[in-house]
Structure 1
Amino acid sequence: MLASWPPTFSTFGWSLEDSISHEQTITYRETETSDSLLPSLPSWPEVENLDSALFGAIGGGDSSMVRKLHHNASERDRRKRVNNSYSSLRSLLPPSDQMKRLSIPATVSRVLKFIPELRKEVDELFQKKEELISRIPTQTELVQPGKQRILATGGSLSAVSAIPLGDGEFAVQISTIKANKAMLSMAIEIVEEDGLLLLNSSSFESFGGRIFCHLHLQVQGSRDVDMEILREKLLLLYEKFP
């Protein structure tokens, strides 16, 4: 007969059901311990709230940056307009002041000082203009000496007057009925031969066919010019051509 061997392990008095229950308990505890070591993840609504808060913070930062960039651009444009305005203001000053590198306060101060000077100069020029206009004879006064000359010569319809303007300048007025353009060129040659510089000349024809010529002359250097002799020369020129 074969001898019966004892079992290789012992249950230490536990039944089979107790062993199974014990193994299940160990497995559950190991699983619970492993799960407790993992971090707790948020639920889906919590994730949505987190994303909204994150993107809101990022969007707020972008809005602040945009406002800052817009402010910088506006400030740059404002400074550019101010500089252009001061440059335009500086260009109104005399050339001697424009060559100086004046600061903005110095530019404003110089302009405030220059405005009264400019007004005074304009008033002086206006007064000089009125004086010159008062010295120039009217058409009636210009024709009248011509009538007196007609009585003396018996045939001329021309009149010449010479008016001093000051500072070595003279205005010569010629009234004639001849429409010969070459005569005006010859008259200019006569005044230049007498040492006068032609500054300006003009002519127009009145309704009655009379031609009026105006010569603005200036004495060159310190030469002494007898305007009465010059007037006689010009009158003889226009009497010479019928």
Structure 2
Amino acid sequence: MINGTQIQCENTFSSSTSIEPGYFCESLLPELELQEDHFLSTTPSPKDNPSSSNHFHKKLNHNACERDRRKKLNSLYLSLRMLLPESERSKKMGIPVTVSRVLKYIPELQKQVEKMTKKKQQLLVKGSQRQKHNSTSKDHCIDSLVVTATCLTDKEVMVNICILSKRADRTSLIKYLEILEGEGLKLINASTTSAPLGERTFYNLHFELTNH
């Protein structure tokens, strides 16, 4: 009679009930908790059958392992959901939706990384070219120029020019002489000295004032 009842229940369940996806994932958790509470409230006494006591402890261990496993899974799914952008996640989002959005987001993220890597390479190349251009320009220009003038007499003046440059040539001196001669000064004497490292050049120019 018991076997017949079990067969009838199985047939009724299979014919009248449609199992939705995720049914077992949602419904087994309460059953395990209720089952565990039932076992915790019924502690076996020494008079009980030893095989029944072993079965009881096995059930407790099984429920504890299953609970820990589900906690770990929930933690992993939560970490996976937090990897999504804030606009793409919500607290009520289920596991299938989370996995689907993550699988869609990973290729998009890879494209962004590749795009940023290319942009970084381009910026590095531009920076290197600009640095070479600046270093080349510095070799051909004067970094700083200091000019002082001292009146010796009413018609004579001493002009001291200090050029801070790695390459100060005669062309620079000629240009300065042309400028001073245009102001009505005639060169009487000139001398040049350089610093030990060659980055400073001093011009001592003795001029006489001429009448225009």
TM category (shorter chain) comes to 0.3 to 0.5
Give the TM-score of the pair, scaled to structure 2.
Answer: 0.43
Q: What is the TM-score when the length of structure 1 is the normalising length? A: 0.38
Larger radius of gyration: 1
